[in-house]
Structures are given as structure tokens and as C-alpha cells.
């Protein structure tokens, strides 16, 4: 049945019910890559960059003969540096990630993020890019160094399968660990609900950029966090800090939504101004769409 279905476009909950993390992720990636080949944005890791006038010493195989035939001039094609990418997926496994506003119809943010991370890892490994995984809550929970073998994906899956929600959120140590692990310039995929110290996180992102890494931030949100619903007065409690606030959702829904939008926009502006890719994804978004949005970006891997 999986052969006939585009799992990447199914509802995440439906996908999770089809099988384990490995099976469902493979289905998602297969669907995603199939769709990608049909897309005009196809491409590979060795990308054409620009033409340059031929100079003595250049390899003849890079001369563009069609241009020579039309213009009677020698041009050579230049490509991006052809090298295997080293990527590190940094996954937030704090307690706030283990929440969903609709347990019957939505995955928790953590379950969604685990599947998304697995799918990204599979895409990268299929491109022979070395991929690693760091999980964290208020401290670094696990570190899996980047490797390019496909068998490495099983290890990553094992790590993700055994991942349980932790306590608070502190991204700094995890990102510092990335610096240690990625000696060469690489790709950092940061998957989190971003309910953390914003300034500290941005500072770490900037440092990574300074070190030449591409940074992709995937902001996972539950739809219940975007819109506030309910008539009666409720005491809302933060699962990590136990901070609480009492209010009537009906009265606050409008202004709350504006606050959330403003916070997302602030992340987006802060990231873009520092050359960081930022994508806000709700946990009801099909994985294929999330992957397309994340990986088809300028800092993406495809």
C-alpha cells in the first residue's frame, strides 16, 4: 500500500499510524523525492555556478561547447565546490515539546519533530552527506556524530526512537557542542518550539554563522499554541517553569494571536538579518510540505 501512497502529503497522524518511525519516514522521503523530481527545482549537490572566460590551464572538460558554437568564444563552466556536506540536526526534547492541544488528531511537537528530523537525515544521507544528531533539553541529552553511511540512519533512528521528553530548554550547550563536532563548514538544522532564551539562541546561531555554517531553524508549533480557544476562565500553566496565568481565552484570543504572530515575525526577521533560514511549521503540516519548505530554501540541502 505504501507504494501507491504519497506519505509525504498525508496527515502526520495518519502517517504515524502506518508504521514505525523507520517505515513511515522512508515512505515520506520516497514521496518527497518523487515529488521533487517532478519539480522544476530539481538539482544535485554539484551545482552549476557561473561562466568564466577560458584561461590557459583550465581543464578542457569544463569548456561549454554550445557557447563556443554560438559565439565562437571559449567559456568554462564553474560549479560550487563539490564536497560532501556535514550536517548536524539539533533537536529540542524539552518538556514543552511533549505537548499537543489535540491529542486525538495531532502528534505532539516532539513526535512531529522526531519524524521530521528522521526524514531530513534520510534525505541527507541519501545524498551521501554526513549527518549527525544532537538532542537536548536543559542540557545535552545525546550526541550522535555525523557519518555519511546509510547504515548510520539506523543509529539515528534508534536514538530518536528512544528519545523521551526532558525538562527545561537550554539550546546554548547543544549549539556549542555543534561547533566542536563540525570542524568544517556544514549545515545545522535546529528543530525546536523556540520556547527558550531567545537572545542566547540567536547569539549561538550567529556564532555558527560566523564559523561558516549554514543554519536552518525549524520552529515547530502546535496549532493550539497559535490560536486560543475556550469560553470559560482557565489557569494556564507552563509545564517547564510552572509559571501560570489566569484569563478567559474568549477575551484574549485576538490579542494573543497577534502576540504569537509578532513573536514569529521577530524570529524570522532576526534570523534572516543574520543569514539564517527560518521556517515556522505547525504540527498539522504534512511532512512532505515541511520538508519542501525546509530543504528547498537557499540554505537547504537539495
Residues that bind another protein (CB under 8 A): 95-97, 99, 193, 195, 222, 225, 228, 232-241, 243-248, 250-256, 258-260, 263
Distances (CA, A) of 129 to 77, 100, 125, 211, 212: 24, 33, 5, 19, 17
3-state secondary structure of 209: helix
Nearer to another protein, 107 or 228 (CB): 228
State the minimum distance, in angstroms, from the CB of residue 196 to another protein. 10
Scanning the structure block, which residue is given the C-alpha cell 522526531? 114
Give the span between the Cα atoms of 299 and 241, in whole angstroms.
34
Nearer to another protein, 176 or 245 (CB): 245
Give the span between the Cα atoms of 286 and 282, in whole angstroms.
9
Find, among 302, 285, 296, 287, the residue nearest to 24 by Cα.
287
Can you read off the three cell numbers belonging to residue 4?
501507491
Q: What is the DSSP string of 13-82?
A: HHHHHHS-HHHHHHHHHHHHHHHHHTSTT---SS-EEEEEE--TTS-GGGB-HHHHHHHS--EEEEE---
Amino acid at each position: 500500500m505504501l507504494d501507491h501512497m504519497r506519505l509525504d502529503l498525508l496527515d502526520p497522524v495518519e502517517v504515524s499510524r502506518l508504521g514505525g518511525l523507520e517505515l513511515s519516514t522512508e515512505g515520506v522521503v520516497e514521496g518527497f523525492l518523487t515529488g521533487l523530481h517532478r519539480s522544476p527545482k530539481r538539482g544535485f549537490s554539484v551545482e552549476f555556478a557561473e561562466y568564466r572566460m577560458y584561461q590557459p590551464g583550465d581543464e578542457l572538460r569544463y569548456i561549454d561547447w554550445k557557447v563556443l558554437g554560438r559565439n565562437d568564444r571559449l567559456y568554462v563552466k564553474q560549479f560550487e565546490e563539490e564536497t560532501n556536506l556535514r550536517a548536524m540536526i539539533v533537536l529540542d526534547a524539552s518538556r514543552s515539546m511533549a505537548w499537543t492541544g489535540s491529542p486525538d488528531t495531532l502528534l505532539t511537537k516532539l513526535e512531529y519533530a522526531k519524524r521530521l528530523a528522521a526524514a531530513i537525515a534520510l534525505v541527507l544521507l541519501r545524498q551521501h552527506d554526513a549527518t549527525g544528531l544532537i538532542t537536548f533539553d536543559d542540557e545535552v541529552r545525546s550526541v550522535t556524530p555525523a557519518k555519511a553511511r546509510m547504515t548510520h540512519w539506523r543509529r539515528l533512528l534508534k536514538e530518536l526512537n528512544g528519545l523521551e521528553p526532558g525538562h527545561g530548554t537550554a539550546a546554548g550547550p547543544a549549539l556549542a557542542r555543534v561547533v566542536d563536532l563540525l570542524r568544517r563548514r556544514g549545515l545545522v538544522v535546529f528543530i525546536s518550539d523556540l520556547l527558550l532564551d531567545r537572545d542566547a539562541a540567536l547569539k549561538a546561531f550567529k556564532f555558527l554563522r560566523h564559523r561558516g555554517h549554514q543554519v536552518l531553524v525549524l520552529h515547530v508549533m502546535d496549532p493550539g499554541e497559535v490560536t486560543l480557544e475556550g469560553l470559560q476562565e482557565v489557569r494556564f500553566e507552563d509545564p517547564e517553569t510552572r509559571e501560570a496565568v489566569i484569563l478567559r481565552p474568549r477575551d484574549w484570543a485576538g490579542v494573543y494571536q497577534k502576540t504569537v504572530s509578532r513573536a514569529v515575525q521577530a524570529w524570522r526577521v532576526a534570523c534572516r538579518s543574520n543569514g539564517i533560514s527560518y521556517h515556522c511549521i505547525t504540527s498539522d503540516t504534512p511532512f512532505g510540505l515541511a520538508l519542501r519548505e525546509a530543504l528547498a530554501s537557499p540554505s537547504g540541502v537539495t
